[in-house]
Amino acid sequence: MKRILGLLVILAAVLLWNSPTLAQPGRAFKLPSSAVKISDNLYDLGRVNGAQGYAILRRDNYARPGGGAAKAPKCYAFMSKGARWKATEAYVTDVESLATETSLETWDSQVAFDLFGTRDLSVAVDGADTVAPDNKNELYFGAIEEPGVIGVTIVWGYFSGPPQTRRLIEWDMILDNADFSWGDATLNPAVMDYQNILTHELGHSAGMADIYDASCSEVTMYGYGTEGETKKRDLAPQDITGIRELYR
């Protein structure tokens, strides 16, 4: 009996050791009841001291509506013209993946401005901010209440007024590991590819908007993703044109 118990302890230890570092179950996320729906995938979180918050939902391919959405023939769009980072900020995460830096660099390398700062290891993740910004850019996994939502990126900033006065002040991102399995889809096409989804979501963190026109389905900012997809790990020419225009 003692030996069996010992084996069970070892087995449990091995399982824990092998569990993906991406897993952080139990951290629930839901939009506040005060959030105002602008469209299926965009919610207004309200204003705090003049700063405006938006939550952008990323849905699974299967939730894709049949009809064409808003026209975006250029296949790129901004959350708001001129609303971009004007100071480089660090980010905090408890996701241990080398792909994070790769995705950050995918956008960063296209512009002269230092778009994303380095990871701040001295600060802990304490959750996405849906009511007011807390001056931390956070990236983590959790359980998103709304079904079919792969991830939510929240962006706070100044989106109105003359474009040159607009700016972003915070991004928070939560990826759903309660309903979806994550990993490297080049190794296992059944999983949601972390780098693929992250690169898209970081586009929002940089100020890029979703594209829903079906004729733009190859761009990284196309609003839907699915398991096994890896083509959005890098940027399409339209994504590059867009980010360079925003940070020109």
List of residues contacting Zn ion (CB under 5 A): 58, 210
- Under 8 Å between Cβ of 116 and 91: yes
Q: How many CB atoms lie within 10 A of CB 175?
A: 26
Question: Which is nearer to Zn ion, 61 or 188 (by Cβ)?
Answer: 61
- Under 8 Å between Cβ of 36 and 43: yes
Question: Which is nearer to Zn ion, 60 or 210 (by Cβ)?
Answer: 210
Question: Which is nearer to Zn ion, 91 or 224 (by Cβ)?
Answer: 224
CB of 210 to Zn ion, least distance (A): 4
Question: Which is nearer to Zn ion, 133 or 223 (by Cβ)?
Answer: 223
CB of 223 to Zn ion, least distance (A): 5
CB of 137 to Zn ion, least distance (A): 17
CB of 151 to Zn ion, least distance (A): 8
CB of 116 to Zn ion, least distance (A): 17
Give me the helix-helix angle, 237-246 and 194-206, nearest 10°. 30
> Which residues on neighbouring strands pair with residue 144, listed in sequence order?
29
Question: Which is nearer to Zn ion, 138 or 210 (by Cβ)?
Answer: 210
Closest residue by beta carbon to Zn ion: 210
One DSSP character per residue, 205-223 reads HHTBPPB--GGGTTSTTBS
Instruction: Please calculate the CA angle 10-18-99 and round it to the nearest 5 degrees.
Output: 165
Task: Give the separation between CA 52 and CA 30, rounded to whole angstroms.
Answer: 18
